[in-house]
Chains A and B, each alone.
Chain A
Amino acid sequence: RRIHSVGRKNTTMSKLTIHGALLSNNVVPPLILLKEKNIEFDFKPVDLFKGESRTPSFRAMNPMHCVPTMDDDGYTLWESKAILRYICNKYGLDDWYPTETDKRVICDVALDFYNNSFYPVVSRIFLYPHLFPTIYSTPSPADLAAAEKTFNDEIIPTFKKIKAMHVSPGEFLGGAQPSIADLCFIILLQQTFEYNKDCVVSKTPQMVQYLKSLQRKLNPKHPEHIKAAAA
């Protein structure tokens, strides 16, 4: 399996700016990654509720006016997972996003699993009605039951299956060490455990253990970001 030639670190690299809000579970993962690797960056807060992402200058960077939005000395990007991949490719962060095809694919599947399966169910049904009650309606009993069934019958088995793709499986979707896919989960899980401690997500032993592993790996270094996101 060939190793890609991707960006290597050099001493004159441009500095990233990340535009976002610290309570967003999509914004904080790239910030954690940059902090974890001691990569200097600027953070510009965006108040979505005040329409700060809908200005002409913001929309020139990102017509979808969402966060996080990245500006690398004029090169702009949105979509948190595209940003995570870019940071790894640019700075050569092979430990977080392997260059070897057989290892990279597991991270790509895990990123898609988070985006398409885990996040939609957990955020809409279990977190957002508690975190943003004025915006997200409480799910009906039928929707709640269906989501719980999906979580138990499909989402948790898929989580286990992805971990098992590794030659030597570990605590994380990235194996023994976390990958950028694991970073996506930490804020969403932390907020769900905090705001909805009685839901199936917060009570599933796999998720309790997984969040503990993530916090053990990351928390001591980034308390300010994780605390701000949980506030």
Chain B
Amino acid sequence: MTFAALSQMNPMHAIPVLKDGDFTMWESKSILRYIANKHNLEAWYPTDPQKRAHVDLALDFCNNNFQNVIGPKVVYPIVGIVSPLSEAEAAEVEKQWKEDVMPSFEHILRRSGGPLFGGSRPNIADLAFLGHLVTVFGKAPDSFVCKTEAISSYFAAVKAALPKYADAFGPSEAFFSAK
């Protein structure tokens, strides 16, 4: 697909893009909501307002506080998309991770009873985190993110709960782990 063709489908030229018949949409978390709503996947995105709000909170937290560290602050400097962080910047990122990001991650996770955001089985919030975890564990296994015990045990729990994980993520894992 060319950049021009992608921009026709989505002027923000981001992926993923979903085509469902004549309907085209983008934004990964909205795609997850759409699939769950369309097929009435109650376990993946419950309809009870407070249970649904928990998933919405987890999705927003992933988007606004988690993946913006994993990408721009950890993986991108390693692969050269952005320049490496200065010592001061890196220290600030790790400080926020410890003081704000991880307490929030654990607070939201605890509400489901754990070990997953869906409790004992995965929901769409778990799927949202999964892609970013595959990337960071593949490209930055020695980072403070991957050395955080709560993150590595959560990652293991998500993988264990998804029978199709190897089929779906095998190629991604291989891509991100390659030297």
Contacts and interface: CB of A to CB of B under 8 A. Distances in A.
Given A7-B49, A64-B104, A109-B30, A158 B64 contact: no
Contact of B12 (A64, A115, A158): A158
B76 interface: no
Contacts of B40: 2
8 contacts: A6-B49, A81-B56, A86-B50, A89-B52, A102-B23, A116-B12, A154-B11, A158-B11
Interface string B88-100: 0000000000001
Interface string A65-93: 10000000001011101110110011000
B27 A109 contact: yes
Interface of A: 1-2, 4-7, 59, 62-65, 75, 77-79, 81-83, 85-86, 89-90, 101-102, 104-105, 108-109, 111-113, 115-117, 153-155, 157-158, 161, 165
Interface string B21-63: 0010111011001100110100000011110110011011101
B65 interface: yes
B13 interface: yes
Interface string B123-146: 000000000000000000000000
Contacts of A90: 49
Given A101-B37, A101-B38, A157-B11, A109 B26 contact: yes
A105 B34 contact: yes
Nearest to A87: B49
A183 B54 CA distance: 22
Contacts of B61: 64, 79
List 6 tightest A-B contacts by C-beta distance, closest first. A112-B27, A82-B56, A79-B60, A157-B11, A63-B103, A89-B49
B107 interface: yes
Nearest to B36: A101
A115 B29 CA distance: 12
Contacts of A154: 11-13
A115 B68 CA distance: 13
Given A78-B57, A108-B30, A115-B64, 18 more contacts: A4-B47, A63-B100, A63-B104, A79-B64, A82-B56, A82-B57, A82-B60, A85-B52, A89-B52, A90-B49, A101-B34, A105-B30, A105-B33, A108-B27, A108-B29, A116-B27, A116-B63, A157-B11
Nearest to B101: A64
A53 to B, nearest CB: 11
B47 A6 contact: yes
Contacts of B13: 154
A86 B48 CA distance: 10
B150 to A, nearest CB: 13
B29 A112 contact: yes
A104 B40 CA distance: 13
Interface string B1-31: 0000000001111000000000101110110
